[in-house]
Amino acid sequence: MNRKHTVVNGASRMSECAEFIKSKFIVEGYDAQSLTVNDPSSKGMLVQIRNATSKAGSIAKGLTGLGACATLKLAAHGSDLELEVLGGKWLDKATVNVVSWIVLWPLFITSSIGMWRQKKLLDRMFMETMSFFTRQSVQ
């Protein structure tokens, strides 16, 4: 699935979109943070979400490939807004998957589940972002 799109005349709603996505996932129990990028050449925002876990749970999820995080990149280009959903730790999951297939086969199952969850999270974040702009244009 292509997770990149340009919203014509969407730059003015960048902050509102970032807050919408952040709030939507926080309500569902995710950790979320946003960062504003404001340099002379470009203006944008990053929204990052991840599964909320305790420190011990975080370590276990990292080792088994079940930790999922996603980043929404919003970049203003004049009045248009380019949005892109990116994954984190995808390469780590693939590495765990290859090593576990050979050495520790039970990790193959958990890393595969982690990769599937990552994909679902990225797809969902993209769809939620697109739905924000669809709802806004209808009103």
DSSP bridge partners of 74:
45, 83
Q: Which CATH number fits domain 4-138: 3.40.50, 3.30.310, 3.30.1150, 3.30.70?
A: 3.30.310
Strands 69-77 and 42-51: antiparallel
Sequence-distant (≥ 6) Cβ neighbours of residue 116 within 8 angstroms: none
Structural domain spans, the chain: 4-138
Q: Is residue 13 scored above 90 in pLDDT?
A: yes
Distance in angstroms (rounded) separating the CA atoms of residues 132 and 18: 10
pLDDT tens digits, 86-137: 876 533 444 555 555 555 556 666 666 767 777 888 899 999 999 998 875 5
Q: How confident is the prediction for the chain on average, in pLDDT?
A: 77
Helix (H) or strand (E) holding 15: helix 14-27
pLDDT, residue 55, reads 52
Q: Is residue 78 scored above 70 in pLDDT?
A: yes
